[in-house]
Structure 1
Amino acid sequence: MKSLLIAVIAITTVTSASAQSLPGGFVYLRDVDPTIIQDIRYATSNNFVGRPLAGYNAGECVVKQEVGLRLKAVQQELATQSLSLKMFDCYRPARASLDMVKWSQNGRETAAERRYNPRIPKTELFRLGYIASHSQHSTGAALDLTLVDLKADNAAKIDPSRSYADCTAPAAARLPEGSVDMGTGYDCTDAMGHTAAPSITKEQRAWRKRLVAAMARQGFVNYSKEWWHFSLPGAGGAAYDFPIQPRRN
């Protein structure tokens, strides 16, 4: 999810982190399983804020080591079905969550932002549990992800000259994501984005169930308001604020 509100969280600020040295048992997911597709959206302008978030200095998935190993196991299972995980967000610096807070309070709401929040004003996203100032992502134990059908044509790219529909529209009308059709786009703050939403098609529901089941077999728990958000109970701990830096080969 964009953020999961947790009542008490200790934020450990690490003033610098080298590209090869990560604190607290964190690892680059590419070092654990390079076959898992990554599209770290908060390191780009292709997200609900419309720009890279604070602390995302590289589009790299960083996770706790246990989380990475379990994701590798999920990926190995999916590979036998010509499927792959695609990561949208992993570890999130605490400063990025505060960046979201500032965004929600800036008094503006653009058409591009409304694509992600078609029915909910951005000022209401905190009260409704879609964004919080403290995120479980900052512990390294929460993830945003989807499935990719490796047999399908996933080559569609965003056309900047095109006016896309909001995240609840049919897949052909909304921003392309190169993944299976889960019924909404990623980060869609709408009832249709709830995992068990009754308004999606039978096929879309089957894809969601397939993702939830594959993740559950490795101990991951889905957040009911966001089909894309999963966490691994017991793998978190303190929150961190070190920036995501480029990974050295």
Structure 2
Amino acid sequence: MSGPSRLAPVREACRATGTAAVVNAPGRTAGDGCRSAISSFVLGPDGALLTRYDKIHLSGEENAVFAPGTTEGRFTLGGIRFALATCFDNSFPEVAARAAADGCRVYLASSFHDSAERVARYAQQARDHGLQVLLANGTGTGGSDAGCGLSGAWLPSGERVATAAEWTGAVPGDGAELVLADVRDHITLMSDPAVAAIPVKECGEPLVDVRTAAPALLVAENPHDTLGAFAPLREGVLQRLLAAQKALPDGLRLQFVEGYRPPGLQRRYFEEYADGLRAAHPGWDADRRHRAASRYVSPPEIAPHSAGGAVDLTLVTAEGEPVDMGTPIDASPEESDGACYTGAPDLPPAARAYRRVLNAALTAAGLVNYPTEWWHWSYGDRYWALTTGAGHALYGPKEPDGR
């Protein structure tokens, strides 16, 4: 049975817990005599397949049984770019070097090493390439060797920050929780050059007013915008919101807060927030201030809101009562002490659960989240293209008159 058809229990576990998983299993191939590949299947928090990586560097008897992969393992999750490598792949320094050059922040290694000395080499790999390294090392017997366990995590400095138990016999040790360092400083921000480098091929899809085009969608009142400039969205985004609403559990619905934002207003918001950072941190240079501002307000030249491709929203009860999302919508990193980040630690259990519900519905509908703001979701813009691997954005900036 092929790998994907056996992953149903893992998919369900991902959906139930809002976590992602990497599972190693044989994967069917179309060529090379239909030999299987040694594959890594990456499942997202919604249970969907994010990517599949086939081990490139085969060793020993593997060459007689399996087909080698031909492409690098890459995926983006939560705004962070990950690299994948399997066992013998990790013996080739150029694998990690290419991952770093390709903008990856985290290197996920699946291996079956038989000694603590071999596991310890991952510290140097982290230092050499400035990567966070996470190793899942096998335990027990396999062929003529025994996996020693000792799965672990290393910071880019080479410091080991988590270690699982060593396997020493027929009964594995108790293990240890593996926790990477706080990844909030490693998120790909809107200010990243990789976002601006995404080309735009405007598809011409119209902006529609959600208040009239989708009466089933609950729209929050905006007392600061009596003209309703906040209400338009690209038609494709609105259709995906309606699909997400249908996927929500009974008793919950989406509440639309803001969609389109005129470019002039976006520029004003960005400059005002950057000015506040300048006053609070006079020692920061312009580049650092620009990056920090983009955690909360997108730089005007690439803003998803100004393309009509982004929406700020929340969950409410069927009666329209708010639920605990951990912070108010539009809470800044400073106001919320970072709790505005979608994956922020130490959230109340209810808030974490509601965020998982929101994430699952919107992700399944094809939208992507900006991980510094749990309420910000988009489709068709440059950040969406970078996150999903699309070759270009579908939507470019629009002026209020539709140009």
- TM-score normalized by the length of structure 2: 0.40
- Measure the CA separation in 1 of the matches of 2:316 and 2:378: 20
1:149–1:58 Cα change, 3 Å: same
Give 1:30 shift: 2.4
Partner of 1:196, secondary structure, is coil
Residue among 286, 310, 327 paired with 1:142: 310
CA contact (8 A) 2:370 2:377 kept: yes
RMSD, aligned CA: 3.4
Residue 231 (structure 2) aligns with: 61
CA contact (8 A) 2:260 2:307 kept: yes
Residue 357 (structure 2) aligns with: 210
Partner of 2:236, secondary structure, is helix
The aligned runs of 1:175-190 (5 Å cut-off) are 179-190=322-333
The aligned runs of 1:215-226 (5 Å cut-off) are 215-226=362-373
**Letter aligned with residue 376 of structure 2:** H
1:35–1:4 Cα change, 3 Å: farther
Partner of 2:291, secondary structure, is coil
CA contact (8 A) 2:277 2:289 kept: no
Q: Which digits, 9 at most, give the CA deviation of each residue in 1:204-244, with x for residues without a partner?
A: 10000100001011111111111101111467421012169
The structure carrying a bigger strand percent of its residues is: 2
1:26–1:59 Cα change, 3 Å: closer
Residue 133 (structure 1) aligns with: 300
Does residue 71 (structure 1) correspond to residue 232 (structure 2)? The answer is: no
Partner of 1:224, secondary structure, is coil
CA contact (8 A) 2:229 2:261 kept: no
Whose relative contact order is higher, 1 or 2, with alpha carbons under 8 Å and at least 6 apart? 1
Partner of 1:239, secondary structure, is coil
1:203–1:107 Cα change, 3 Å: closer
Give 1:107 shift: 6.6
1:103–1:150 Cα change, 3 Å: same
- Measure the CA separation in 1 of the matches of 2:394 and 2:236: 10
Residue 395 (structure 2) aligns with: 237
Structure 2: tracts of 5 or more residues without a match: 1-188, 281-287, 386-392
1:197–1:30 Cα change, 3 Å: same
**Letter aligned with residue 104 of structure 1:** Y
- Measure the CA separation in 2 of the matches of 1:133 and 1:242: 15
- Measure the CA separation in 2 of the matches of 1:61 and 1:83: 21
- Measure the CA separation in 2 of the matches of 1:75 and 1:138: 23
Residue among 85, 101, 123 paired with 2:254: 85
Residue among 185, 204, 207 paired with 1:26: 207
- Measure the CA separation in 2 of the matches of 1:143 and 1:240: 15
Partner of 2:306, secondary structure, is helix
CA contact (8 A) 2:230 2:261 kept: no
- Measure the CA separation in 2 of the matches of 1:207 and 1:96: 31
Structure with larger Rg: 2
Residue 342 (structure 2) aligns with: 195
Does residue 96 (structure 1) correspond to residue 265 (structure 2)? The answer is: yes
